Amino acid sequence: MFKDPFDPKTLLGRGCSCGGNHAEADHARLTASAVPTAEEDRWNRVVDAAVLRAVFPVDAARRQFLKTVGASTAMAAISSVLPLAAAREAFAQGGAPEKKDLKVGFIPITCATPIIMAHPMGFYSKHGLNVEVVKTAGWAVIRDKSLAKEYDAAHMLSPMPIAISLGVGSNPVPWTMPAIENINGQAITLANKHKDKRNPKDWKGFRFAVPFDYSMHNY
Q: State the CATH number of the domain containing residue 108.
A: 3.40.190.10
Residue ending a domain, choose from 77, 93, 109? 93
pLDDT score recorded for residue 17: 54
Clarify whether residues 70 and 123 are in a common domain: no
In this structure, is residue 175 part of a structural domain? no
Number of domains in the chain: 2
pLDDT score recorded for residue 3: 42
Count CB-CB contacts under 10 A for residue 81.
Answer: 7
Angle (nearest 5°) at CA 179 between 35 and 154: 125
φ, ψ of residue 68 in degrees (nearest 5) = -75, -45
- Interval 21-66: pLDDT, tens: 556 655 555 555 466 677 777 777 777 777 777 777 777 888 888 8
Domain span at residue 58 reads: 35-93
Q: Does the structure show a pLDDT above 60 at 2?
A: no
Count CB-CB contacts under 10 A for residue 168.
Answer: 13
Q: Does the structure show a pLDDT above 80 at 19?
A: no
Are 105 and 136 contacting, i.e. CB atoms less than 8 angstroms apart?
yes
Q: Does the structure show a pLDDT above 70 at 173?
A: yes
Whole-prediction pTM value? 0.58
Q: Does the structure show a pLDDT above 80 at 72?
A: yes
Between residues 20 and 72, the one the model is more confident about? 72
Residue ending a domain, choose from 166, 187, 207? 166
Between residues 24 and 147, the one the model is more confident about? 147
In this structure, is residue 59 part of a structural domain? yes
Clarify whether residues 106 and 80 are in a common domain: no
Mean pLDDT of 75-85: 77
pLDDT score recorded for residue 29: 54
Residue ending a domain, choose from 126, 151, 166? 166
Between residues 63 and 134, the one the model is more confident about? 134
